[in-house]
Amino acid sequence: MPYRDTPVVCSVCGRTFIWTVTEQRQAAEAGLPLVKPELCPRDRMRDPLTGRWLGRVKWYSPEKGYGFIIRGDGEEIFFHRSGVLPPGPAYLTEGTPVTFEIEETVGAKPKAVEVALVTPPAEEEGTGADGQAAA
Ligand SMILES: [Zn+2]
């Protein structure tokens, strides 16, 4: 099947984006099925459950009280320790996965706020953890 740039309407923001030949070829070469993406590249960088942005800590300086997060598209976003949720900035070591919101102020660069650690999914507790609901 020849690859072709395909316009797709994003199911989140409703904008049309192009599913490019390059993306299609990369998926094919990686052995992935050629399934049309539902989200534009921008919305793919969001946590589908919470809608929050996903990224990793590039660095954080406890002395300076600020650092940078790298979002999925490579964009580096400033954050200050006052914008970090508990347990606090001490846990923000290089490479730590985080979720965050972006605060945009006119005349200033966007900054990350409500920065939070990505917590692993909670363990299932109690009985009936085999996927069957107990009657
Ligand atoms: Zn979108």
How many angstroms does the Cα of residue 24 sit away from the middle of ligand 1? Answer: 18
How many angstroms does the Cα of residue 52 sit away from the middle of ligand 1? Answer: 13
Residue with tokens 């921008």: 42
| Band (112; pLDDT cuts 50, 70, 90) | very high
- pTM value? 0.67
How many angstroms does the Cα of residue 9 sit away from the middle of ligand 1? Answer: 8
State residue 49's pLDDT score.
Answer: 83
How many angstroms does the Cα of residue 69 sit away from the middle of ligand 1? Answer: 21
Decide which of 48 and 33 is more confident: 33
State residue 29's pLDDT score.
Answer: 93
| Band (12; pLDDT cuts 50, 70, 90) | confident
How many angstroms does the Cα of residue 122 sit away from the middle of ligand 1? Answer: 29
53-117 — its CATH code?
2.40.50.140
Give ∠ CA 84-54-112 in degrees, rounded to 5.
40
CATH 2.40.50.140 placement within the chain = 53-117
Residues 119 and 61: their CA atoms lie apart, in Å, by 22
How many angstroms does the Cα of residue 131 sit away from the middle of ligand 1? Answer: 33
How many angstroms does the Cα of residue 127 sit away from the middle of ligand 1? Answer: 40
Indicate the SS3 state at residue 6: strand
pLDDT at 8 over 90: yes
What is the rounded average pLDDT of the residues 38-45? 87
Residues 51 and 64: their CA atoms lie apart, in Å, by 30
Distance of CA 3 to the CA centre of its chain: 28
